[in-house]
Amino acid sequence: MKLLIASLLASVTLTAAQAADIVATGDLGLVVERADGSLLLVDRSDRAAIGRIEGLGDLSHASLVYSPDERFAYVFGRDGGLSKVDIVEQAVVARVIQAGNSIGGAISDDGALVAVSNYDPGGVRIFDADTLEMVADIPTGSKTIGLVDAPGRRFVFTMWDSGETWIADLSGDTPEIKKIPDMGANPYDALITSDGRTYITGLFGEDGMTALDLWQDAPEPIRVLPGYGRGAEELPVYKMPHLEGWALAGGEFVLPAVKHHQVLWVDATTLQETGRTETYGQPVFAMARPDGRHVWVNFAHPLNDTIQVIDTLTKQVVHEFKPGPAVLHMEFSPRGNEVWVSVRDAGKVMIYDTASFEKLGEIDAASPSGIFFTARAHRTGL
Amino acid sequence: MKLLIASLLASVTLTAAQAADIVATGDLGLVVERADGSLLLVDRSDRAAIGRIEGLGDLSHASLVYSPDERFAYVFGRDGGLSKVDIVEQAVVARVIQAGNSIGGAISDDGALVAVSNYDPGGVRIFDADTLEMVADIPTGSKTIGLVDAPGRRFVFTMWDSGETWIADLSGDTPEIKKIPDMGANPYDALITSDGRTYITGLFGEDGMTALDLWQDAPEPIRVLPGYGRGAEELPVYKMPHLEGWALAGGEFVLPAVKHHQVLWVDATTLQETGRTETYGQPVFAMARPDGRHVWVNFAHPLNDTIQVIDTLTKQVVHEFKPGPAVLHMEFSPRGNEVWVSVRDAGKVMIYDTASFEKLGEIDAASPSGIFFTARAHRTGL
């Protein structure tokens, strides 16, 4: 009987954790709490926080990706920390300091490899997604930006200093690297289309952007919008725009301009400019709602209390509102019916209906910045 | 003490189920076992079956959709049965017989409503996703096909007999229905693009297809490939092709021809034909790999032992192989690195690497047909 009770007790100690585990992971997400180095676990369906994971170091410019099963998040901290978080157990299960200053990461299409791009020392390091053991070290001699995953166990990334893009193929035993020079002066960020075909770098050192068609055996740099701001007065840049939030909207790319209060529209096939929309401030994120009909834009300091919504057909602003001080990030539900907005200095994540613009709820969070829903696990280039 | 033990036992009875529940749901899937009316629960990461759910009635032409949290599947049986399955508990949690003969279903973008299209009585019925209570009945006086979800809590469906497409908007208190006549003779299936903008019906009663731009306030039928087979000898149709597996491949639609051994390529912007590829048999599914670089095609009886893979750039067949007798369905992992193939008469699901075409594994299944990964929860129109 004593034995039986012991065995029962052992079971019971697991039960509390397990009762909480009967949540499927498809509608969860993590919000970066930058001041505290913690992650807030949120449930989209309940529009609520359901846990907090602490001890993640410096999250002042953090991003993360998910494992294919939507159970683990790989968190890339500004301090070079790479952490593996189990969102079912709500715990950090592995953590390495892999560099001195890192700038983002990606996960291979099969979920087996996690890559991190670093400023110091400049390059890309690749880790086993299971154990976080380093499996490849790719020094580049440059600050390395715009790291994305591409189909076929590939990673693509670009050098700020040398203006080269490298394509690293990890499908064999050793990484095969293809180098593409002449991408332009000081690429500062990049994006890959959701089909993994087109890689576009934004340039800080010159007006314009550069695209690569990754379906070609030897991709050549294609200039996009060369000199788009020439003649216009350049405005000071308080915050570099992000390209990662980009998406295809009705056959056009929508991109935040640098040094101009505009978003730029580019035909996705011809890569020719199709229009510009004047905006309230310097855009930081210009994010297409998943259906592409609307583009939501937030802005750099000191105009970062405002969001504008642009209609893709007319390219006109159709809605403008002020969620609160320091709107840092927006994340759409995967099918686009809601958007979640980080309002850092209000200490809130605000939730809106994207059709009616009605506010649906809010969640307390400590200096929230990036919001990452688990549905990202199933997409290329996020 | 007695009380304590009772309480312990109550906890223990939950434990076995809960231990199994510490699987995240992002990499799971269901395989329809048509002969037995059961569903095989599979784990993509393990390439293995992890459970079986029985008692689902006639699954001879079944499909299913997932709740936003990837926990529940809504299963549409040929016999009019609508079943709600909990894949965490591996149990049928609700079931209604909602019509005499049904042909597919969809789930609204917010996950709140499940819609079923019926042959008998013809029309669409809409159910509360939580309880399966009927919340709207939309008789159409026709066999109803091509039911898809669209952004903004809308469903779109088409009438075989009258050639009308209806757009039902469920965002308000009562359904608002917009009717578009003259879609063509005997529409037999339809698709919606993943951005929810373009709806395309295949026609059985005439050569060609008809598209609608759902971003327009009053969408007008647009003829696509009118008379594409005129002059060519029509071949007998053993199995109607499916359009649901369609996807955009590098800016083009790829569509199985009806009554011809061809797939058709259509520019996604202009809706003009851009090419044809001769195939081994009458295509049933022409499915773009998620990156769009390849299209995988299976065929109607008696040529249904074969798969052809077509390169999107060259429109040439680059690979052909015979997985076994009666290849019924193919499902890509969401990022496209693997494809899972139902080979009914081999009693197997076969798993292939989509880059090397190497076989990675196989799973026993009883007369498998449709394969549905949970990642579908996050996509429009599946």
Convert the pLDDT of each residue in B145-155 to its tens digit: 999 999 999 99
Report whether A332 contacts B68 (CB < 8 A). Answer: no
What is the pLDDT averaged over residues B179-189?
94
How far, in Å, CA of B184 to CA of B204, rounded?
A: 9
**Mutation target among A25, A153, A315 for the B interface, most CBs of B within 10 A:** A25
pLDDT in tens, B173-182: 899 999 999 9
Chain A residues touching B274 at Cβ < 8 A: none
* Residue pair A331/A340 in contact by the 8 Å Cβ criterion: yes
CB nearest B26 (choices: A21, A195, A377): A377
Residue among A151, A355, A377 minimizing CB distance to B171: A355
pLDDT-derived band of residue A376, with 50, 70 and 90 as boundaries? very high
B188 Rama class: left (phi>0) / alpha (psi -120 to 50) / beta? alpha
CB A31 within 8 A of CB A51: no
Instruction: Provide the 8-state DSSP code for A241.
Output: P
Under 8 Å between Cβ of A126 and A140: no
Residues A251-290 have pLDDT tens digits of: 888 888 877 899 999 888 888 889 999 999 999 999 999 9
Per-residue model confidence as pLDDT tens digits over A155-164:
999 999 999 9
Distance from CA of B382 to the nearest CA of A (A): 12
Rounded to two decimals, what is the model's pTM? Answer: 0.91
Q: Which residue of B has its CA nearest to A13?
A: B11
Cβ proximity of B155 and B168 under 8 Å:
yes
Q: What confidence tens digit (pLDDT) does each residue in A73-123 have?
A: 999 998 899 999 999 999 999 999 988 888 889 999 999 999 999 988 899
Query: Which of A18, A215, A269 is facing B293, going by the closest CB pair?
Result: A215
pLDDT at B60: 86
Which of A148, A291, A293 to mutate: most B Cβ within 10 Å?
Answer: A291
Alpha-carbon separation of residue B84 from A24, A258, B211, B302 (angstroms) = 15, 50, 32, 34
CB-CB neighbors (< 8 A) of B12 in chain A: 8, 11-12
Nearest CA in chain B to A294: B215
**Percentage of residues in chain B having pLDDT higher than 70:** 89
> What confidence tier does B234 reach under pLDDT thresholds 50, 70, 90?
low
Mean pLDDT to the nearest integer, A302-310: 97
Q: Which helix (H) or strand (E) holds B12?
A: helix B2-21
Task: Compare CB distances from A197 to B268, B269, B292 and report the shortest one's residue.
Answer: B292
In angstroms, rounded to a whole number, what is the distance separating the alpha carbons of residues A327 and A150? 30
Q: What mean pLDDT do residues B98-127 have?
A: 92
Tell me whether residue B70 is exposed, middle or buried, using C-beta atoms within 10 angstroms of its C-beta: 0 to 12, 13 to 18, 19 or more: buried
Q: In whole angstroms, what is the distance from residue A235 CA to residue A259 CA?
A: 5
Rounded-to-integer distance, Cα A66 and Cα A105, Å: 11
Determine the residue among B22, B47, B130, B156 to mutate to test chain A binding: the one whose Cβ has the most chain A Cβ atoms within 10 Å: B22
The mean pLDDT value for B268-289 works out to: 91
- Is B110 within 8 Å of A45 when comparing Cβ atoms? no
Smallest CA–CA separation between A54 and chain B, in Å?
A: 21
Determine which of B3, B11, B272 to mutate to test the interface with A (most A C-beta atoms within 10 Å): B11
Tens-digit pLDDT profile for residues B56-112: 999 988 999 999 999 999 999 988 999 999 999 999 999 999 888 888 899 999 999
* Alpha-carbon dihedral angle through residues B270, B271, B277, B281, given to the nearest 10 degrees: 170
Judge contact between A128 and A74, C-beta under 8 A: no
Element containing residue B3 per DSSP (H, E): helix B2-21
Is-contact A152 A109, C-beta < 8 A?
A: yes
B197: nearest CB among A19, A27, A291 = A291
CB contact under 8 A, A335 and B8: no
